[in-house]
Amino acid sequence: MDLQTKALHAGYTKDTQGTMAVPIYMTTAYEFRDVEHAANLFALKELGNIYTRLNNPTTDVFEKRFAELEGGEAALATSSGMSAIFYAIANSAEAGDNIVCAKQLYGGSLTQTAHTLKRFGIESRFFDVHKPELIETLIDDKTKVIFFESLTNPSIDVADIEAITAIADKHGILTVVDNTVATPVLCRPFEFGVDITVHSASKYTTGQGLSIGGILVERKGLIEKLKANPRYAHFNEPDHSYHGLVYVDVPLPPFTLRARLSLLRDLGAVVSPFNSWLFIQGIETFALRMREHSKNALELATFLEAHPKVKKVNYPGLKSNSNYENAQKYFDGGACSGLLSFEVASLEEATKIVNATELYSLVVNIGDSKSIITHPASTTHQQLSEEELLACGVPSGLIRISCGLESSKDLIDDIKQALEA
Ligand SMILES: *Cc1c(COP(=O)(O)O)cnc(C)c1O
């Protein structure tokens, strides 16, 4: 079945009312038939609803549908993209362990890995996503995760996914990929050997900037990589917090099972059923939207590249871009989402352009149906000096755009008048 068809039907069996729309089950808890039923649910002898922190029928549809789109076995929804990332790492590593991360990460992921996880005793070691061959110099027997983004935000690079998964597999290490910007529509990392994907559902999944949420997806057959793997004793030994359950001995996808039974149970970053429902609405048009976002961005990038006031355009869909080959290899039809950036001569020039646009909203978000413009040097990267800005690839004249679903002609016209104002 094609992705667009799965996006409309996967994971939902019409309930007793025959509702075409997936119902929103706003409930905290569920009635058990009797004591035996309750005991069976807790013992995993029977699967079913217990309490909405652990599972919910609306969220279940969102999880199953998203797992299908990504080509994975199972998924776990969370309250935000950041909590999905934290659960993916906390499900693999503990105090005394280390993880290897790409330098080119979302700002929140950089602070989570470099600072917050460090306080929990997990060390992060960073590599340049363009130099995957250096990963091996960072690995030791305490390395539990290699973490990177398929299409990086905000630097707009495309990872050579297979080069990284080959190294991870050689050492039996789990790969976690943040696939937020590429989305399952454009990139399916499991086809290139990735083990776990994480997403912020707050971006293209909801698609209209409606809500915060996240999701973690596990690939098919991950159990084989975890079984008897000395790096992941916690999947192979009894979990005393769950009456001695051994995750690889249960006939259920082990990674999401442990994330649900242990992390969601104890840390509780659960998504609201209402938000899951919003994400389900977004998914119905996911494929249509991603194609249109990508088309608009390519047209705008092509226009910008030819404009005399523009020094440089970063968009992996342009032949001139150093990520072009990877984008062709890893992204469906080479489509690269709505995220692009471009550089003008100075901070003053960039400020003037951003202020002169009318159609673009000045917002620190991406993936909305409405176009967004940001000037990183005066907002997200404000605390950095001129040298530091250059070092992290954010010159002061850099403008970032998340192309929405307006007509590309209007988007180009507005940037043109702003450039020439
Ligand atoms: C926004 C974003 C996140 C964080 O997601 P939230 O839902 O805001 O917590 C993580 N990774 C990437 C690539 C993002 O763009």
Sheet holding 214-218, edge to edge: 74-78, 214-218, 196-200, 174-178, 143-149, 98-102, 123-127
Give the ligand 1 atom nearest the CA of 365.
1
* Closest Cα to atom 8 of ligand 1: 81
Ligand 1 midpoint to CA 125 (Å): 20
Instruction: Write down the pLDDT at residue 419.
Output: 97
Instruction: Write down the pLDDT at residue 96.
Output: 98
Instruction: Write down the pLDDT at residue 379.
Output: 84
Instruction: Write down the pLDDT at residue 183.
Output: 98
Give the ligand 1 atom nearest the CA of 83.
9
Q: pLDDT band at residue 382, thresholds of 50, 70 and 90?
A: confident
Q: Is residue 383 over pLDDT 80?
A: no
Give the ligand 1 atom nearest the CA of 85.
10
Query: CB neighbours of 38 closer than 8 A, spacing ≥ 6?
Result: 32
* Same topology between domain 3-281 and domain 287-419: no
What value does the mean pLDDT of the chain take?
A: 96
CATH of domain 287-419: 3.90.1150.10
Ligand 1 midpoint to CA 154 (Å): 11
Q: pLDDT band at residue 294, thresholds of 50, 70 and 90?
A: very high
* Closest Cα to atom 1 of ligand 1: 200
**Adjacent-strand bridge partners of 176:** 147, 196
Ligand 1 midpoint to CA 366 (Å): 9
Instruction: Write down the pLDDT at residue 35.
Output: 97
Query: Could you tell which of 105, 116, 180 is best to mutate to test the pocket of ligand 1, judged by most ligand atoms within 8 Å of the CB?
Result: 180
Ligand 1 midpoint to CA 417 (Å): 32
Ligand 1 midpoint to CA 80 (Å): 8
Instruction: Write down the pLDDT at residue 52.
Output: 98
Ligand 1 midpoint to CA 48 (Å): 30
163-174 average pLDDT score? 98
Q: pLDDT band at residue 393, thresholds of 50, 70 and 90?
A: confident
Query: Could you tell which of 203, 212, 216 is best to mutate to test the pocket of ligand 1, judged by most ligand atoms within 8 Å of the CB?
Result: 203
* Closest Cα to atom 7 of ligand 1: 81
Q: Is residue 245 over pLDDT 90?
A: yes
Q: pLDDT band at residue 332, thresholds of 50, 70 and 90?
A: very high
Query: CB neighbours of 337 closer than 8 A, spacing ≥ 6?
Result: 151, 181, 182, 183, 186, 204, 290, 293, 294, 297
Cβ pair 189, 149 in contact under 8 A: no
Query: Could you tell which of 200, 206, 279 is best to mutate to test the pocket of ligand 1, judged by most ligand atoms within 8 Å of the CB?
Result: 200
Ligand 1 midpoint to CA 210 (Å): 14
218-241 average pLDDT score? 98
Instruction: Write down the pLDDT at residue 309.
Output: 97
d(CA 230, CA 173): 10
Q: pLDDT band at residue 62, thresholds of 50, 70 and 90?
A: very high
* Closest Cα to atom 4 of ligand 1: 81
Give the tens place of pLDDT for each residue, 93-104.
Answer: 999 999 999 999
C-alpha dist (Å) from residue 266 to 48, 240, 259, 302: 19, 14, 10, 49
Q: Is residue 45 over pLDDT 80?
A: yes
140-158 average pLDDT score? 96
Sorted by where each begins, the domain ranges of the chain are: 3-281, 287-419
Give the tens place of pLDDT for each residue, 410-419.
Answer: 999 999 999 9
Give the ligand 1 atom nearest the CA of 82.
9
Q: Which residues line ligand 1 (CB under 6 A)?
A: 80-82, 106, 108-109, 149, 153, 178, 180-181, 200, 202-203, 212, 214, 366
Provide the whole-model pTM: 0.97
Of 154-168, 220-234, 334-348, 388-402, the poorest mean pLDDT is in 388-402
Ligand 1 midpoint to CA 83 (Å): 9
Q: pLDDT band at residue 387, thresholds of 50, 70 and 90?
A: confident
Query: Could you tell which of 82, 179, 198 is best to mutate to test the pocket of ligand 1, judged by most ligand atoms within 8 Å of the CB?
Result: 82
Ligand 1 midpoint to CA 192 (Å): 22
Cβ pair 148, 179 in contact under 8 A: no
275-300 average pLDDT score? 98
317-345 average pLDDT score? 97
129-143 average pLDDT score? 98
* Closest Cα to atom 6 of ligand 1: 81
Tokens 């797992």 label which residue?
67
137-142 average pLDDT score? 98
DSSP string, 84-128: HHHHHHHTT--TT-EEEEESS--HHHHHIIIIIHHHTT-EEEEE-
Ligand 1 midpoint to CA 382 (Å): 19
Percent of the chain with pLDDT over 90: 93
Instruction: Write down the pLDDT at residue 82.
Output: 98
* Closest Cα to atom 2 of ligand 1: 200
User: Could you say which of 3.60.40.10, 3.90.600.10, 3.40.640.10, 1.10.10.350 is the CATH number of the domain covering 3-281?
Assistant: 3.40.640.10
Give the ligand 1 atom nearest the CA of 214.
7
Q: pLDDT band at residue 310, thresholds of 50, 70 and 90?
A: very high
Q: pLDDT band at residue 59, thresholds of 50, 70 and 90?
A: very high
Q: Is residue 378 over pLDDT 90?
A: no
* Closest Cα to atom 5 of ligand 1: 81
Q: Is residue 15 over pLDDT 90?
A: no
Give the ligand 1 atom nearest the CA of 212.
7
Cβ pair 151, 318 in contact under 8 A: no
Ligand 1 midpoint to CA 82 (Å): 6
